[in-house]
Structure formats: structure tokens, C-alpha cells
Amino acid sequence: DGSKLADIQNYVMANKTEPDPELFGIAKGRNLIIVSMESMQGFVIHSKINGKEVTPFLNSLIKDSYYFDHFYHQTGQGKTSDAEFLIENSLFPLGRGAVFFTHSGNQYESLAKRLGQNGYYTAAMHANNKSFWNRDLMYKSLDYNRYYSSVDYKIRDGETVGWGMKDIPFFAQSTEMMQKMPQPFYTKLITLTNHHPFKLDPEDRYIDEFTSNDGTVNRYFTTVRYTDEALKQFFAYLKEKGLYENSIILLYGDHYGISENHNAAMAQFLGEEITPFKTIQLQRVPLFLIIPGVTDMGRGKIISKVSGQIDIRPTLLHLLGLPEKNDMEFGTDIFSKEHEDFVVLRNGSFITDKLIYANSHCYEKNTELQVDPVLCDPYKESAKTQLDYSDQIIYGDLLRFYHSSN
């Protein structure tokens, strides 16, 4: 195990990037609020149903944010929990099963742990059964101080739909709980209403369903619209309770909501055939980073660097002024001038600034056509190495033997 770890360490350290000096520490000491947006895909941004925006709030938030439009989810079978794993650890989830179940006893150097060591109170907030995805155990390994699950919320009549508590009351009660927390805090809030099968009560429908013979796709837009409304109210609560100014807020889509089984209706919606190339592009999820007093003062912008969920941990640590130069992680700070336009998906597909590799085919991005596979070769090796090394860390519980000293 020792020699394996040494190889991995050499690889990781050789790929470290320098933070942007202007942004390093820009949010030092602030609260960190992360929202995992259930099944939120990038294509909904700026899309419309019968002339109405599907995400009016998120669309308007772009001007107040760093908004990343080439940001990919990297999840596997562990879905929401895999996204959490990526964000906490900057490691890949596993190729099969859910790491939250299979390796909840490992040692991790999570974002929650690092922030806890730096004076933060850390809490995960999700109004579902606490043992779903084994979160009750995994959150202990990730070193959260507290997990607010369904038993911590007052769920009144009419406040549940589908899988559980509706997002609007969830955000309202979560904000009240956050107001009582010691600061600085790191909270992670996980939404639920935009979950398959995308059921809503009539009073929560702000837009029409899409019209096709696929009810799942039709309803998806209405639940996305509901979560968008919930986010709008959340930002209003944060401002009202005085929690906005002294925080940084990160919103990310956890994974796709519409699988490839729905390609026919998706083709109808997008007005184009869903090719394997297109399928990869549909794995983009929205990422918003709001730094009040900075991004909402005319300094927000759209960032089109190719990046993924694995990059969030180092990006946030740098903004909070916490170095990660000795950490074992596979992502890099998206704001770094050295950040490479390269993201590896869990199934081995990858995306660069010019190429997409999927199903053993190499595609050129600007033409969307297959090109000589040799063009993808230089990246194939490093995609494989990253996934293998990350897997070895998890399977061998190798962070037990690694003591970073930041």
C-alpha cells in the first residue's frame, strides 16, 4: 500500500495548480452555503415552455454570479450521493455501486472536515430519511457536526410531494435553522422536489408541462420551475435574515434528470437528434457561485472553462483562503490560470476544450463529427490514471496512511 500511495501522491502533486492570487482568500471567514439541486441539467437554463422561462430566477442570477456553462456531473450509480462525494473529497465515486454505502468507514479529508478544522460549524441539511444513501453513517466519516434530516423539519399538511418535503418549506425552515448556527458555518442543502417521477401539486405548477408522449419529460420542466421558485425564495430569506452578505453561495446540479431512455422526447424538445456526442453535452449541469459584494457588483461573469464536480473542493478552499497544496485530490481550482480544460466522467468518457471521447469514439466539438481516435489518445491515458488512482485510494482506504500538512 505504501508504494501505491507514493505513486498516487507523485501524480497528484505533479498536477497541482497555483490559485489565482486575486481570488485566493477573497471569501476568507465567510459562511459557505452549498445547494445540491436535484436532477438539474444545464439545458434548462434559458429554455422556455410556451414562451415562459423554465428557470427565470436562475437565468436572472447569472449576472450576479460566476456561472459555469461547461461544467459536468461525474456521478455513477450513487447519484446524489456521488455528487456529494465528489464535492467533499475531490475523488471520483466508484464505477459500480455507491461509495456512500460501500466505503462509509474509510478515512476522508472532506471539505467539511477541513472547514471544521478551521473554525467552521458544519451541517448537512436534507429533509429525507437520514439513512437514505447511508448518509447518517457517511456524514460521520465526512466529519459533519450535524445532519438535519426529515425528523428535524416540521412537515405540515400539503408540504410534501413525491419523495418528501417540498423545496419551498425546506428552504424556509433551513434558513431559520441556519440563523441559529454558530458562524462561520458550512451548510449543504439538498433539494428534492425535482426528482423523478417529477410529481407536483396543481398549486405548485408555475408553467405548463411540455407536450410529447413522454410524461416524464413533460413533467420535468414543471418541477425544475418549482425548484427555481424555491431558490428565488431562499435567496430572499437569506437576505432577510442577514445571512447573504457574509456568505458565499454555490449551487450545482447533481446529475441528469432525463436519462437516455427519453431521447425521443428530448429530441422533440431540443429540435435535434440526440447523438452520442449530444448525450455527453447533456451531462452538463449548472454551476453558480455567488460571492456577495463581488459577483453581484458587476464582477460576475460566464466562465466556459471545461470543469466538473471534482474541481469544486479545491476551488472553494482557495476562495476561502485555505491552501490545499498537499491534499490528495483529483480536481483543480477552476479559477487557476493553469486549470486544464479536461474533465473525466465516471464511465471513462472525457471532454476537453476541443474534443469529446465517448463510447470509444473521438469527436471534434466544433463539427460534432467523429475524428481520428488518435486525437483523443493523449487524454485517454490520463483519464484512466485518474480513475484508477482514485479507485485505489478508496478500495485501499489509503488516506489512513497519508498525512497532509497544509
CB neighbours (10 Å) of residue 314? 28
* Residue sitting closest to Mn ion (CB): 80
Beta strand 287-290 pairing with 66-68: antiparallel
190 counts as binding ligand GP9 under rule CB under 6 A: yes
CB 253 to Mn ion: min, Å: 9
Check residue 8 and give left, alpha or beta (phi > 0: left; psi -120 to 50: alpha).
alpha
When asked if residue 188 is in the footprint of ligand GP9 (CB under 6 A), the reply is no
Among 73, 103, 195, 278, binds ligand GP9 (CB under 6 A): 195
Question: Would you call 80 a catalytic residue per the annotation?
Answer: yes
| CB-based burial, 232-260: b 16+ in 10 Å, e otherwise | bbbbebbeeeebbeebbbbbbbbbbbbee
Q: How far apart are CA 345 and CA 364, in angstroms?
A: 17
Which of 73, 79, 166, 339 binds ligand GP9 (CB under 6 A)? It is 79
User: CA geometry: angle at 133 spanning 12 and 88, to 5°?
Assistant: 30
Smallest gap, in angstroms, from Cβ of residue 78 to Mn ion? 10
346 binds ligand GP9 (CB under 6 A): no
Binding site for Mn ion (CB under 5 A): 38, 79-80, 254
Cα dihedral 344, 14, 312, 376, rounded to 10, equals -20
Q: How far is the CB of 264 from Mn ion (least distance, A)?
A: 23
What secondary structure letter does DSSP report for 208?
P
Nearer to Mn ion, 128 or 247 (CB): 128
Helix, coil or strand: residue 172 = helix
* Per-position x/- string for 4-43, each x denoting binding to ligand GP9 as judged by CB under 6 A, each - no binding: ----------------------------------x-----
Nearer to ligand GP9, 195 or 313 (CB): 195
Among 11, 15, 20, 132, binds ligand GP9 (CB under 6 A): 132
**Which of 38, 327 has the CB closer to Mn ion?**
38
| Residue 101's binding partner out of Mn ion, ligand GP9, none, with CB under 5 to 8 Å set by partner kind | none
The smaller minimum CB distance to ligand GP9, of residues 123 and 190, is found at: 190
Rounded CA-CA distance 336/221 in Å is 35
Strand partners, 251: 35, 288
Q: What does the alpha-carbon distance between residue 268 and residue 163 come to, in Å, rounded to a whole number? A: 28
Spot the catalytic one: 80, 222, 279, 315: 80
332 in contact with ligand GP9 (CB under 6 A): no
Assess 128 for contact with ligand GP9 (CB under 6 A). yes
- Secondary structure in 3-state letters for 364-393: ECCCCCEECHHHHHHHHHHHHHHHHHHHHH
What residues are annotated to the active site?
Answer: 80
Chain residues in the site for ligand GP9 (CB under 6 A): 38, 79-80, 126, 128, 132-133, 190, 192, 195
